[in-house]
Structure 1
Amino acid sequence: MANTAMQLVALITSIIGMIGTLSATIMPHWRITAHIGANVVTAIVYMKGLWWACAMFSTGVFQCETYNSVLELPADLQTARAMMVISVALSLLAITISVVGMKCTVCARDSPIKDKIAGTGGVFFIVAGLTGLVPVAWTMNGVILNFNNPLIPGDLKFEIDRHMKPGH
């Protein structure tokens, strides 16, 4: 019984993780910068994500624009897009495989390979997690390196969203 409960908790946790990966893939908060003009009225926050770039004005207007062409995008952004989509797809596949291998399901009941099916789902979860972790770490590394680069003007430097930092 404890094994079944652990499997259910692991499945729920993995579904939450997949939803988190999907939302990180969609949201434009990968790179963020703030430009404050001569007064607060002209304050603009620029955000760049995998799929679009957005601007939020101090008046509350939020405007997003998709990238015009995939071929115009830098290679790191194209790679991050692909890896995040693959991560979500692998997570969905892992959820499906894991449900088949769980002890509380009737799929493949009394089959000697049921535990191996569950293990295969776990391996897919690990691969999906690593596939999602690499582009996030790669992007954050680029943001940090560019932020500390003295050759880049201050209004062109991006940073990590302050709402995403631990402790806020």
Structure 2
Amino acid sequence: MASTAAQLLGFFLGLLGFTGTVAATLLPHWRTTAYVGSNIITATAYMKGLWMECVWHSTGIYQCELYRSLLALPHDLQAARALMVLSCITSVLASLVSVMGMKCTRFARGSFVKTPLATSGGIGFLCAGLLCLITVSWTTNDVILDFYSPFLPSGLKCEIGLAVYLGYASSCLSLCGGLVLCWSSNVARSQRPPHIQRIPASSPPPAFNIIYPPAPLYKPPEALKDNRTPSLCSLSSNGYRLNNYV
């Protein structure tokens, strides 16, 4: 029961991490306008994401525009796109494998493949969390370097957006879910009773496969052979009596 509850906990943590990763991938709040120096106008705010660039006006108008060219984007943005999409795909595969490998499901119940499947799902969540963590850490480093760069005008400087923080939280959830799944699978494997090899019982011998030697011929004892005196009515001297044939 303990390993089953741990597997469910790890699965739901990984599922939450996958949901947060998808939300962080789609949201445009990766980089927001930094109000420093001469850039103190707060009537508009610019936000840049992986797929679009948005402008928010103080009047409540929210306008977004998708990036029209893929090759015209910076290399770091293209790499961030690829890593986040790969993280989402890895989370989907890890979720499917974990569902098949958990004890509470009917797939391959009683088979030895349940534990390896659950472990594989945990490793998949770990990989997804690492991919998301690499992407948000890379973006954070770029934003910080640009912010403190003396050669970049203050109007072009950006700060870390909410989507980056959501990516950090999602990666932590995915990593925790993967660790819990791997740990619960190892615990379930250690609690499994050892396999006792059954020795096949020896089959009983066939009923008629024993050949007994023939019984010896009956021989009367020497003391009882011809121990009577021959009678007078015997017709021959060979010991036969007449009354045996009458």
With the length of structure 1 as denominator, give the TM-score of the two structures: 0.91
Give, as a single letter, the amino acid of the residue that structure 2 aligns with 1:142.
D
- Give the 3-state SS of the residue equivalent to 1:63 in structure 2: strand
C-alpha displacement at 1:3, in angstroms? Answer: 1.1
Report whether the alignment pairs 1:85 with 2:85. yes
- Deviation larger for 29-38 or 145-154: 29-38
In structure 2, the CA distance between the partners of 1:108 and 1:127, relative to structure 1 (3 Å rule), is same
Instruction: Tell me how many residue pairs correspond in the alignment.
Output: 164
Based on CA coordinates, which of the two structures has the bigger radius of gyration?
A: 2
C-alpha displacement at 1:12, in angstroms? Answer: 1.1
- Where relative contact order (Cα < 8 A, 6+ residues apart) is larger, the structure is 2
In structure 2, how many angstroms separate the alpha carbons of the residues matched to 1:88 and 1:38?
A: 36
- For 1:118, the equivalent position in structure 2 comes to 118
Q: Pairwise mapping of residues 148-167 of structure 1 onto structure 2 (< 5 A)?
A: 148-161=148-161
Check whether the contact 1:44–1:58 (CA below 8 A) recurs between aligned residues: yes
In structure 2, how many angstroms separate the alpha carbons of the residues matched to 1:52 and 1:2?
A: 45
C-alpha displacement at 1:50, in angstroms? Answer: 0.2
Check whether the contact 1:80–1:135 (CA below 8 A) recurs between aligned residues: yes
In structure 1, how many angstroms separate the alpha carbons of the residues matched to 2:16 and 2:138?
A: 23
- For 1:144, the equivalent position in structure 2 comes to 144
Give, as a single letter, the amino acid of the residue that structure 1 aligns with 2:7.
Q
Deviation per residue, 1:118-149 (Å, 9 max, x gap)? 10111111111111111110011000000001
In structure 1, how many angstroms separate the alpha carbons of the residues matched to 2:157 and 2:95?
A: 39
Structure 1: where are the runs of 5+ without partners? none
The CA RMSD measured in Å over matched residues stands at: 2.1
- For 1:25, the equivalent position in structure 2 comes to 25
In structure 2, how many angstroms separate the alpha carbons of the residues matched to 1:147 and 1:38?
A: 13
| Greater share of residues in helix | 1
Give, as a single letter, the amino acid of the residue that structure 2 aligns with 1:132.
C
